[in-house]
């Protein structure tokens, strides 16, 4: 079964390749092995160093002979140096594989998919022609194979190596597809698990308030998984994806069709675009299809593209300002110095160094064996090459190669110890190595490299790495440099994971400041978001906050209410503390009411004094001066009662306000009722022989006052016992003010008090109205009836006005009603009497009364 499958693969691989008419050094096609160092055990590797391109699409050949065009990826050559450096370190370390030398075998990884397995079969069989299940090697000493950089490359090679259970370690970016042990049982990934990069990208978006981003990814399982994970993380942080554009691989080509919708996407307000997948190929598509938009966008990538071949060199210029996430690693001590000393003289077997010296240092190259021989630049070294051509610092892929070599070495060490321990007598001179025996040790390997970083091949035990955030500087033009501008630590506390130096970031040349990438501008303080129907959450309108609500931050979803003790500013950005106020004595309204209250009280006292001084005059004696005194004293207290309503309320004043007002007015109205009743009795039932004369003689009307007052006292007692008045705050009547006032407790009890006073006022009015035409010189029935009519009008008017006012004006309205009703009684009942007493004293005599009665009798006789 395996033989027939391999035979089909070989037939496919032997299909003719594209012909190139440009001749290249013949030494490169003939040399299958780029570098070989012998050792007791050898680690093989396939690195994409040379790229062979067909010149013509009309002619096909079976192998890449002379006539093909080639190029060299100088960046990937660092992979060779990293592996060579690790092998040297291990061979010099007596604690790892003692008495055992470790060698290496490096092959070139061809560019096109149909050619990838060509050198793999050569390595397996030892022949130029790939013959399934045939191996002409005398002895197999390879322990493991390193592959990469892309997932597709490792996946293709794994289909062959898994047949032999040969350990394969990939040094490219971590890919979750390759973790499937059923599909890839012999494949291991040395790169750290990159699941935390989603959180890092989301944190970066939040840091710069980029809530509207685009996404370029590959149209495969890895791209779909990345999109799903990233979208979930972005949704949790309320970041929207403006568009998703995928790049498809059809055979060996990058396939992408730019339609009108995608063109509109790139013209949108999403100034930040995330790239995930085969970055070099995706950037090539972007450059070829969307070149005019490149400089207007900030590109955020999940890794640097070092080690990947660019189809378009100009992308370096166009990618200025790009931000990338790459797993952090310490610089390996001695590696830079090792690179500086790598020359064709020191490593004459390395044809890559010879070609580099030929290309950049003007050396003459002997085409027969690719060795330089003359005209070299003195003291030349790789350090002289520009950074965009060759990096002196260890790249991410080179670091993975370094760790992979150490993982294989330690696994071999553990396997040898295990064999010696359990088979001490078998082949003491040499331990036999069967590659499949290495798997248990590779799965469980967990060691530290020279910089104390953990090396783990089992993806389930990998820890979240710390990421370096790098910024691409293209100054001067063409000399690209990745500069570390921040870090992302997944294991740090939530709000301390991202650390970034904004002042170090060079943005794309289209931006003069930190770019903005939003669908809708953030709502300013005082406004809130209104999500648009059928639009993403990042697209919204802004509407002012409702009454008594504010938003004090930019981009708030909801406004929040100010506490009752505060009110909103005019811009609805802040809650301002309300001013506490009440009907105070120093308030203009309070001052006016106080002066009126004291003035009428003084006037009433003056009337009392006048009546006392003229107590023996007919006008004072005519209308029951005792009741007049009671009424005047009560009115004096009624005029002073409003002082309980003015000033800062407290529990005592709140209880006294309504109850004192009710009792005093009850006494006043009951006194008026007693006066009117006295008049009626005096003129209706005083005829000789009437049995009811005892009512007047016994002064029965005077009992009206205590009886009516007792009823009011009972009502007040019930009021105080059930729901007494209390101090309250009115925070809504006046904007910006908290009014301290007395809450009546039971509104029903208050209206019962008013109703009771109204009944007594109406009763007094009725009695006075019935006696208005009774003959007497000083009959005050008319004045009593008119005063009660005014009293009722005042309080009937009070009720609707009282309900239409709020705050301290409501209190002022009640005070005004008390003063007005009291003044009506005082003025209408006692003003005429005081006028006669003070200004017409001749009418306040018995002679005047007698003469007036005689004249009235004469007039009656004449008629």
Domain-located, residue 316:
yes
Contact criterion met (CB below 8 Å) for 119 and 110: yes
Q: DSSP character for 563?
A: P
Task: Examine the pLDDT at 14 and tell me if it is beyond 50.
Answer: no
Task: Examine the pLDDT at 366 and tell me if it is beyond 80.
Answer: no
Categorize the per-residue pLDDT at 63 as very low, low, confident or very high, splitting at 50, 70 and 90.
Answer: very low
Clarify whether residues 201 and 184 are in a common domain.
Answer: no
Task: Examine the pLDDT at 437 and tell me if it is beyond 60.
Answer: yes
CA distance 333 to 336: 8
CA distance 190 to 185: 15
CA distance 202 to 497: 11
The CA–CA distances, whole Å, from 249 to 219, 277, 827 equal 8, 12, 106
Clarify whether residues 165 and 277 are in a common domain.
Answer: no
The tokens of 493 are what?
A: 């506390």
Q: What is the pLDDT of residue 221?
A: 79
- Position with higher pLDDT, 289 vs 827: 827
Clarify whether residues 203 and 187 are in a common domain.
Answer: no
Domain-located, residue 745:
no
Domain-located, residue 7:
yes
Q: Residue 405 CB: number of other CB atoms within 10 A? A: 29
SS3 breakdown of the chain: % helix, strand, coil, rounded to 5? 45, 15, 35
- Position with higher pLDDT, 844 vs 629: 629
Categorize the per-residue pLDDT at 8 as very low, low, confident or very high, splitting at 50, 70 and 90.
Answer: very low
Categorize the per-residue pLDDT at 854 as very low, low, confident or very high, splitting at 50, 70 and 90.
Answer: low
State mean pLDDT over 354-379. 78
Q: What is the pLDDT of residue 800?
A: 83
Q: What is the pLDDT of residue 425?
A: 56
Q: What is the pLDDT of residue 62?
A: 39
The per-residue pLDDT of the chain, averaged, comes to 79
Task: Examine the pLDDT at 12 and tell me if it is beyond 80.
Answer: no
Query: Cis (ω within 30 of 0) for the bond into 440?
Result: no
Domain-located, residue 516:
no
- Position with higher pLDDT, 533 vs 104: 104
State mean pLDDT over 737-763. 85
Q: What is the pLDDT of residue 676?
A: 77
Clarify whether residues 471 and 604 are in a common domain.
Answer: no
Clarify whether residues 160 and 232 are in a common domain.
Answer: no
- Position with higher pLDDT, 700 vs 473: 473
Q: Nearest-CA neighbor of 239 among 538, 558, 539, 554?
A: 538
Q: What is the pLDDT of residue 772?
A: 59
- Residue 558's domain spans which residues? 527-577
Residue entry with tokens 């060299």: 72
Task: Examine the pLDDT at 858 and tell me if it is beyond 50.
Answer: yes
Q: What is the pLDDT of residue 180?
A: 87
Instruction: Count CA atoms within 13 Å of residue 415 on its CB side.
Output: 24
Query: Number of folded domains in the chain?
Result: 4
Task: Examine the pLDDT at 461 and tell me if it is beyond 60.
Answer: yes
Categorize the per-residue pLDDT at 15 as very low, low, confident or very high, splitting at 50, 70 and 90.
Answer: very low
Clarify whether residues 809 and 782 are in a common domain.
Answer: yes
Q: What is the pLDDT of residue 797?
A: 84
Domain-located, residue 521:
no
Q: What is the pLDDT of residue 316?
A: 52
Categorize the per-residue pLDDT at 4 as very low, low, confident or very high, splitting at 50, 70 and 90.
Answer: very low
> Is 836 exposed, middle or buried (CB count within 10 Å of its CB: 0-12, 13-18, 19+)?
middle
Q: Residue 690 CB: number of other CB atoms within 10 A? A: 12
Instruction: Count CA atoms within 13 Å of residue 687 on its CB side.
Output: 3
Task: Examine the pLDDT at 29 and tell me if it is beyond 60.
Answer: no
CA distance 698 to 714: 27
What are the contacts of 183-186 at 24+ separation with CB within 8 A? 184/155, 184/158, 186/158, 186/161, 186/162, 186/436, 186/439
Q: What is the pLDDT of residue 119?
A: 78
Assign residue 578 a region (left: φ > 0; alpha: ψ between -120 and 50; beta: otherwise).
beta
Q: What is the pLDDT of residue 533?
A: 82
Categorize the per-residue pLDDT at 845 as very low, low, confident or very high, splitting at 50, 70 and 90.
Answer: low
Clarify whether residues 636 and 693 are in a common domain.
Answer: yes
Clarify whether residues 225 and 148 are in a common domain.
Answer: no
Q: Residue 454 CB: number of other CB atoms within 10 A? A: 14
Domain-located, residue 755:
yes
Domain-located, residue 374:
no
Clarify whether residues 601 and 675 are in a common domain.
Answer: yes
- Helical (H) or strand (E) element with 243: strand 240-250
Q: What is the pLDDT of residues 309-327, one digit of tens each?
A: 444 344 555 677 889 898 8
* Alpha-carbon radius of gyration of the chain: 53
- Position with higher pLDDT, 326 vs 779: 326
Task: Examine the pLDDT at 60 and tell me if it is beyond 90.
Answer: no
Categorize the per-residue pLDDT at 210 as very low, low, confident or very high, splitting at 50, 70 and 90.
Answer: very high
Clarify whether residues 638 and 541 are in a common domain.
Answer: no
Clarify whether residues 164 and 110 are in a common domain.
Answer: yes
- We report the CATH number of the domain holding residue 628 as 1.20.1070.10
Categorize the per-residue pLDDT at 840 as very low, low, confident or very high, splitting at 50, 70 and 90.
Answer: confident
State mean pLDDT over 619-634. 82
- Position with higher pLDDT, 804 vs 497: 497
Task: Examine the pLDDT at 30 and tell me if it is beyond 50.
Answer: no
Clarify whether residues 216 and 278 are in a common domain.
Answer: yes
Say what percent of the chain tops pLDDT 90: 16
Contact criterion met (CB below 8 Å) for 583 and 608: no
Categorize the per-residue pLDDT at 132 as very low, low, confident or very high, splitting at 50, 70 and 90.
Answer: low
- Position with higher pLDDT, 658 vs 782: 658
State mean pLDDT over 182-210. 90
Domain-located, residue 762:
yes
Q: What is the pLDDT of residue 61?
A: 42
Q: What is the pLDDT of residues 794-819, one digit of tens each?
A: 888 887 887 778 778 888 888 888 88
Q: What is the pLDDT of residues 240-257, one digit of tens each?
A: 998 888 877 655 444 444
Q: What is the pLDDT of residue 57?
A: 45
Q: What is the pLDDT of residue 189?
A: 93
Q: Which of 57-61, 85-89, 375-379 is predicted with the least confidence, judged by mean pLDDT?
A: 57-61
Q: What is the pLDDT of residue 203?
A: 93
- We report the CATH number of the domain holding residue 401 as 3.40.50.2300
């Amino acid at each position: 079964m395996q033989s027939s499958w391999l035979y089909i693969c070989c037939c496919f691989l032997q299909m003719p390749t594209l012909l190139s008419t440009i001749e290249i050094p013949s030494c490169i096609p003939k040399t299958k092995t780029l570098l070989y160092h012998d050792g007791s055990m050898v680690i093989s590797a396939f690195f994409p160093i040379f790229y062979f391109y067909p010149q013509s699409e009309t002619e096909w050949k079976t192998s890449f002979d002379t006539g093909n065009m080639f190029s060299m990826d100088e960046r990937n050559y660092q992979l060779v140096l990293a592996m060579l450096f690790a092998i040297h370190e291990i061979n010099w370390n007596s604690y790892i594989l003692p008495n055992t030398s470790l060698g290496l075998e490096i092959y070139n990884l061809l560019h096109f998919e149909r050619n990838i397995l060509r050198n793999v079969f050569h390595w397996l069989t030892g022949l130029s022609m790939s013959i399934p299940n045939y191996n002409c090697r005398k002895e197999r000493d390879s322990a493991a194979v390193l592959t990469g950089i892309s997932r597709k490359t490792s996946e293709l090679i794994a289909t062959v190596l898994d047949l032999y259970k040969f350990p394969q370690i990939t040094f490219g970016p971590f890919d979750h597809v390759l973790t499937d042990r059923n599909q890839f049982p012999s494949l291991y990934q040395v790169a750290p698990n990159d699941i935390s990069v989603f959180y890092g990208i989301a944190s970066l978006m939040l840091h710069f308030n980029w809530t509207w981003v685009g996404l370029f990814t590959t149209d495969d399982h890895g791209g779909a998984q990345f999109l799903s994970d990233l979208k979930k993380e972005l949704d949790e942080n309320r970041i929207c994806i403006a568009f998703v554009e995928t790049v498809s691989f059809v055979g060996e080509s990058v396939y992408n069709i730019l339609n009108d919708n995608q063109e509109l996407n790139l013209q949108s307000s999403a100034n930040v675009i995330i790239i995930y997948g085969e970055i070099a190929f995706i950037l090539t598509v972007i450059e070829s299809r969307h070149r005019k938009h490149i400089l207007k966008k900030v590109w955020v990538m999940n890794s640097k593209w070092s080690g990947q071949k660019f189809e378009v060199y100009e992308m370096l210029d166009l990618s200025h300002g790009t931000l990338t996430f790459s797993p952090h690693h310490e610089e390996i001590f001695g590696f830079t110095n090792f690179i500086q000393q790598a020359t064709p003289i020191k490593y004459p077997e390395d044809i890559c160094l010879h070609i580099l010296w030929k290309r950049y240092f003007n050396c003459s190259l002997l085409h027969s064996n690719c060795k330089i021989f003359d005209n070299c630049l003195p003291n030349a070294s790789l350090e002289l090459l520009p950074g965009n051509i060759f990096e002196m610092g260890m790249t991410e892929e080179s670091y993975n190669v370094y760790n992979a070599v150490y993982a294989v070495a330690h696994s071999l060490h553990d396997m040898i110890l295990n064999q010696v321990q359990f088979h001490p007598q078998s082949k003491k001179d040499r331990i036999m190595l069967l590659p499949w025996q290495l798997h248990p040790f590779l799965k469980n390997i967990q060691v530290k490299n020279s910089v104390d970083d953990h090396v783990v091949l089992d993806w389930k035990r990998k820890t979240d790495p710390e990421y370096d955030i790098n910024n691409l500087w293209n100054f001067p033009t063409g000399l690209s440099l990745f500069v570390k501008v921040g870090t992302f630590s997944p294991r740090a506390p939530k709000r301390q994971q991202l650390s970034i130096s904004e002042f170090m970031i060079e943005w794309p040349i289209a931006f003069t400041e930190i770019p903005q990438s939003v669908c809708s501008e953030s709502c300013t303080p005082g406004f809130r978001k209104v999500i648009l129907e059928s639009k993403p959450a990042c697209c919204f309108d802004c509407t002012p906050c409702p009454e008594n609500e504010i938003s004090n931050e930019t981009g708030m979803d909801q406004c929040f209410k100010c506490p009752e003790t505060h009110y909103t500013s005019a811009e609805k950005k802040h809650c301002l503390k309300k001013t506490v106020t009440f009907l105070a004595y120093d308030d203009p309204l309070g001052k006016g009411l106080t002066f009126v209250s004291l003035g009428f009280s003084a006037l009433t006292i003056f009337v009392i004094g006048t009546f006392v001084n003229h107590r023996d005059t007919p006008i004072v004696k005519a209308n029951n001066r005792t009741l007049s005194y009671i009424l005047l004293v009560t009115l004096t207290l009624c005029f002073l009662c409003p002082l309980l309503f003015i000033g800062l309320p407290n529990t005592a004043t709140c209880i006294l306000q309504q109850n004192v007002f009710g009792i005093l007015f009850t006494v006043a109205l009951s006194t008026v009722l007693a006066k009117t009743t006295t008049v009626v009795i005096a003129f209706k039932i005083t005829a000789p022989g009437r049995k009811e004369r005892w009512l007047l003689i016994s002064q029965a009307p005077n009992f009206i006052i205590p009886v009516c007052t007792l009823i009011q006292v009972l009502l007040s007692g019930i009021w105080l016992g059930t729901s007494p008045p209390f101090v309250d705050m009115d925070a809504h009547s006046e904007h910006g003010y908290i009014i301290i006032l007395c809450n009546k407790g039971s509104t029903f009890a208050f209206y019962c008090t008013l109703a009771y006073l109204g009944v007594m006022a109406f009763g007094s009015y009725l009695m006075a109205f019935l006696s208005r035409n009774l003959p007497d010189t000083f009959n005050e029935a008319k004045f009593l009836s008119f005063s009660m009519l005014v009293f009722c009008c005042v309080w009937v008017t009070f009720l609707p006005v009282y309900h239409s006012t709020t705050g301290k004006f409501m209190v002022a309205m009640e005070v005004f009603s008390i003063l007005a009703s009291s003044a009506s009684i005082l003025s209408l009942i006692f003003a005429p009497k005081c006028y006669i007493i003070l200004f017409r004293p001749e009418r306040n005599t018995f002679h005047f009364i007698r003469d007036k009665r005689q004249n009235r009798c004469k007039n009656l006789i004449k008629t």
